[in-house]
Amino acid sequence: MELNNILFPAPKFSVNKIKDSYKKELVFIPKYDQSYNIIRHIPALYLEPQHFQINKVIIYFHGNSEDIFCSRELLNSLKDNLLFVSFLAIEYPSYSIYNQEIDSKQILDDALTVFDFLKDIVGIQEEKIFVFGRSIGSAPAVYLSANRNPNGLILMSPFTSIRNLAEDLVGSLFKYLIVNRFDNLSLMSKVTCPILFVHGQKDSLISFKHTITLKNECKCPYEVIFPEEMTHNTFNFKTELLNPLINFLKKNTCNFFNFPDDFESIKIPKSLYIMPDNIKKQIEIMVK
* For residue 4, pLDDT beyond 60: no
How high is the pLDDT of residue 181?
76
DSSP state of 161: B
Q: Which residues contact 84 (CB under 8 A, 6 or more apart)?
A: 49, 52, 53, 54, 55, 56, 256, 257
pLDDT in tens, 7-20: 556 777 777 767 66
pLDDT in tens, 118-146: 999 999 999 999 999 999 999 999 999 99
Whether the Cβ atoms of residue 154 and residue 130 lie closer than 8 Å to each other: yes
Pick from 77, 138, 71, 140: nearest CA to 103: 140
How buried is residue 254: exposed, middle or buried, by Cβ count under 10 Å (0-12/13-18/19+)?
Answer: exposed
pLDDT: which is higher, 222 or 173:
222
CA atoms within 13 Å, Cβ hemisphere of 139: 24
* For residue 3, pLDDT beyond 50: no
Task: Report percent pLDDT > 90 for the chain.
Answer: 62
**H or E stretch including 187?**
helix 184-187
Least reliable range by pLDDT among 34-43, 106-115, 232-241, 254-263: 254-263
**H or E stretch including 281?**
helix 277-287
* For residue 22, pLDDT beyond 80: no
Interaxial angle between packed helices 243-251 and 72-82, expressed in degrees from 0 to 180 and rounded to the nearest 10: 50
Pick from 28, 57, 58: nearest CA to 41: 28
Cross-strand bridge partners of residue 129? 57
When pLDDT is cut at 50, 70 and 90, the band that residue 152 belongs to is very high
Least reliable range by pLDDT among 17-26, 61-70, 122-131: 17-26
* For residue 178, pLDDT beyond 50: yes
CA 213, chain centre distance (Å): 21
Pick from 153, 166, 171, 235: nearest CA to 205: 166
CATH 3.40.50.1820 for the 15-37+47-253+269-287 domain, yes or no:
yes
DSSP state of 12: P
Pick from 134, 110, 113: nearest CA to 122: 113
Whole-angstrom CA distances from 4 to 8, 72, 162, 218, 222 are: 6, 25, 9, 27, 30
Whether the Cβ atoms of residue 287 and residue 15 lie closer than 8 Å to each other: yes
Pick from 279, 272, 282: nearest CA to 114: 272
User: For residues 143 and 276, what is the distance between their CA atoms, to the nearest angstrom?
Assistant: 27
Task: Report percent pLDDT > 70 for the chain.
Answer: 85
User: For residues 161 and 221, what is the distance between their CA atoms, to the nearest angstrom?
Assistant: 22
What are the boundaries of each domain within the chain?
A: 15-37+47-253+269-287
pLDDT in tens, 245-286: 999 998 987 555 555 555 567 788 999 999 998 888 877 776
